[in-house]
Chain A
Amino acid sequence: KNEVEQSPQNLTAQEGEFITINCSYSVGISALHWLQQHPGGGIVSLFMLSSGKKKHGRLIATINIQEKHSSLHITASHPRDSAVYICAAPSNFGNEKLTFGTGTRLTIIP
């Protein structure tokens, strides 16, 4: 069993739809990262959160530390949101070592 699991692996939606990507983890953590990776390979950090909810534009991330579960939501999705979204949890080793999920490939169709 992977320490960090994401679902779904692939998601295709129409422009404007509300998107939810889920992440469950088994490692003990103090915070969880949501990252975005475009086809070119570069990774952008979207959120790091340790409790509750964070919002940035159309992106919302929530986390439940007790249930070891986090969700990333995208409102009013747009084709430019098409990317791979990855959740990553710091290991018990420390905050600097991240264990990554395998990612969710999101495709938004115009």
Chain B
Amino acid sequence: DAGVTQSPTHLIKTRGQQVTLRCSPISGHKSVSWYQQVLGQGPQFIFQYYEKEERGRGNFPDRFSARQFPNYSSELNVNALLLGDSALYLCASIMVGGSYEQYFGPGTRLTVT
């Protein structure tokens, strides 16, 4: 049984560009959360989606957006990239109504130059 998958694993972009990161949750999990982890810090909550609806948003600018598809996979979009957006972006898959244990993907490391 596949775990949480994320793509791409690494990405290099320049300032001002746009990026799309993808996440596929564990089969049967309908909730996905996105986190940003800047080097040397703990992850910070960006978004949570459940059944294709946004259920929560962290303290991030409108340049950050996300969506969830009917198959429960999710995309995180970041527009007008800044140097400070360089981070590891983590996706977590959750069985809502179950244990609420969060299963993390390997992350996408984004470098903005």
Contact = CB atoms under 8 A, between A and B. Distances in A.
Interface stretch (B17-25, B38-46, B61-69, B70-78): B38-46
Nearest to B33: A96
A86 interface: yes
Interface stretch (A12-20, A37-45, A69-77): A37-45
Interface residues of B, number: 29
Chain A: interface size category: 20 to 34
Contacts of A94: 48, 55-56
Contacts of B103: 45
Interface string A85-104: 01010110111111111110
B58 to A, nearest CB: 8
A45 B101 contact: yes
A108 interface: no
A96 B48 contact: yes
Given A48-B100, A97-B45, A102-B42, A41 B109 contact: yes
B102 A100 contact: no
Given A45-B101, A90-B100, A95-B100, A103 B42 contact: yes
Interface of A: 4, 31, 33, 35, 40-45, 48, 86, 88, 90-91, 93-103
